Amino acid sequence: MEKKITVLPGDGIGPEVVTAAVEVLGAIAQKYDHQFHFAYGAIGGVAIDQYQDPLPQNTISLCEESDAILLGAVGGPKWDHNPADLRPEKGLLRIRKHFDLFSNLRPVQAIPSMLKSSPLKEDIVKDVDLLIVRELTGGLYFGERHRTENEALDSLTYTREEIERIVDNAFTLARLRRKKLTSVDKANVLDTSRLWRDIVDEKKAQYPDVEVEHSLVDSTAMKLITAPAEYDVIVTENMFGDILSDEASVITGSLGVLPSASMRADNFGLYEPVHGSAPEIAGKGIANPAATILSAAMMLQYSFGLLEEAKAIEDAVAAVYEKGFFTGDMAPKGVEALSTNDWTEKVLHEIEPAYVKEQTFI
C-alpha cells in the first residue's frame, strides 16, 4: 500500500514523540512492504514564529494532499500571552474544524504490565477497556467569544445535526464492542445537555441491542476513577471529553500512553496523543512516545484499514512494557527509566529486528 502522511510535529515534546512514531511507521512499512511518504508542516507555536499564523495555508494544503495527518502537540509558555487568534492551540482547533474532524476517539486500556504504574488499586484498573468518543468541532471551544477588561464570554452551542452525528458514531462503535453506551452530560443545568440527552433517547430505538445510560459529568468524573471497568463507550461533548480523557490517564498511570484519532465521516483522520506539549520536559529526550506511537497504530487501523499492522504496533508496545522497559513517567520504583530514543528502539526491535532507522532522533 502507498500512502501520503502529513506530519505536524508542533511544539515542546511534539517533535520528539512524532519522530519516534514516524520511525515505527517506517518499521511497519519495511516489514509489510508498504510505502509511507512523509511530508512535514508547521502548526502551533513554531508556525506562529515562522509564518505569524498557527495554521498557515501551506500546512492546510499539505494536509489536503495527504491520506492522513500525524500530529505531536502544540503550545508553550512562549506564546501564552499572545492574542487569542495567535495562540498555538488556535491552530489545532482550526485544523479540526477545517477538516470536519468531529469524532475524537480516545481509547483507554490497562495493559497488564502497566498496572503497577497506576496509582489506583490493581483490582480497580485491571479490566479497564473503554473508549471515550468526544465531539470535537462544536461546543465551547468553537462558540462566540468576547473579552473586555472586566468581562468575558464563551458561549456553548450545539445543533441537532452536530449531536446526531456523534451520537450515531458512538452507537455504531458500541455495537462493535461490548454494546454499552454511557452518554455524559450536565442535563440538570445546561440546555445543550438537555438537547443532547433527548437526541440520545430518540436514537436508542435505532440501536436496540445497545444498552444506554445517561450520566452527569461530575459524578462520571468520580466513577471513572472508582469503577472505570464498568465503562465501555462513553460519548460526550467537546470540553467534557477533553477533561475526562486526561483524567482517565490516571488509570494507565501516565498521559504519555493515551492515543487518539480525530475522524471525519469518510475515515480521513488526524492522529495525535491525548497529551499536550509538556514544555517542562521538552528537549530532554525523556518524553514517553507511546501515545503517539499508538496514535499511528490508530491511523493504520481507521484510515488505512491495516488491521494486522496496527495490531503489530500495539503488541510491540505491550511487549516492551511486559519486558519491564519504561520511560520516566511510568517506571515503577527501582526500575531504571529509558530515554525516548532507547524505549522507541525497543519497540522497533519488537516490530522488525532488521529495521534500520531513517531518522536521527531529536
345 touches Mg ion (CB under 5 A) = no
What one-letter code names the amino acid at 280?
A: E
Residue with cell 512492504: 33
Is 186 one of the annotated active-site residues of the chain? Answer: yes
Among 141, 142, 196, 326, binds ligand COI (CB under 6 A): 141
Q: Which among 129, 168, 246, 315 is annotated as catalytic? A: 246
Q: Which contacts of 228-231 are long-range, i.e. CB under 8 A and separated by 24 or more positions? A: 228/108, 228/120, 228/124, 228/125, 228/128, 228/130, 229/124, 229/125, 229/126, 229/127, 229/128, 229/129, 231/128, 231/130, 231/180, 231/182
**Residues 325 to 354 in contact with ligand COI, rule: CB under 6 A:** none
264 annotated to bind ligand: no
48 touches ligand NAI (CB under 6 A) = no
* DSSP-derived 3-state class of residue 93: helix
What is the distance between the alpha carbons of residues 71 and 11, in angstroms, rounded to a whole number? 10
What is the distance between the alpha carbons of residues 342 and 289, in angstroms, rounded to a whole number? 11
132 touches ligand COI (CB under 6 A) = no
**Residues 286 to 325 in contact with ligand NAI, rule: CB under 6 A:** 287-288, 291
89 touches ligand NAI (CB under 6 A) = yes
Among 53, 67, 185, 242, binds Mg ion (CB under 5 A): 242
What is the distance between the alpha carbons of residues 110 and 307, in angstroms, rounded to a whole number? 20
* Residues in contact with 214: Cβ distance below 8 Å, sequence separation at least 6, in sequence order: 182, 183, 184, 185, 187, 197, 200
Alpha-carbon distance values, 74 to 30, 253, 294 (Å): 30, 22, 18
Is 321 one of the annotated active-site residues of the chain? Answer: no
- Binding partner of residue 29 among Mg ion, ligand NAI, ligand COI, none, CB under 5 to 8 Å per kind? none
Is 302 one of the annotated active-site residues of the chain? Answer: no
181, containing H or E segment: strand 180-185
Beta strand 259-263 with 269-273: parallel, antiparallel or unpaired?
antiparallel
Among 62, 92, 130, 184, binds ligand NAI (CB under 6 A): 92
Is 218 one of the annotated active-site residues of the chain? Answer: yes
272 annotated to bind ligand: no
Choose the binding region for ligand NAI from 32-40, 70-78, 112-120, 166-174 (rule: CB under 6 A).
70-78
User: Which of 260, 341 has the CB closer to Mg ion?
Assistant: 260
User: Which of 73, 200 has the CB closer to ligand NAI?
Assistant: 73
347 touches ligand NAI (CB under 6 A) = no
* Residues in contact with 90: Cβ distance below 8 Å, sequence separation at least 6, in sequence order: 54, 55, 84
DSSP state of 152: E
90 touches ligand NAI (CB under 6 A) = no
Q: Which alpha helices (H) appear in the chain, and where do they start and end?
A: 14-32, 45-51, 57-64, 88-98, 122-125, 160-175, 191-203, 217-226, 238-252, 290-302, 307-322, 340-351
**Residues 240 to 279 in contact with ligand COI, rule: CB under 6 A:** 242, 274
179 annotated to bind ligand: no
Is 141 one of the annotated active-site residues of the chain? Answer: yes
What is the distance between the alpha carbons of residues 180 and 186, in angstroms, rounded to a whole number? 20
23 touches ligand NAI (CB under 6 A) = no
Site map (CB under 6 A) of ligand COI, residues 65-104, x = contact: ------------------------x--xx-----------
Contact residues: ligand NAI, CB under 6 A: 13, 17, 73-76, 89, 92, 255-256, 272, 275-281, 287-288, 291, 329
Residues taking part in catalysis: 141, 186, 218, 242, 246
Contact residues: ligand COI, CB under 6 A: 89, 92-93, 141, 242, 274
Contact residues: Mg ion, CB under 5 A: 242
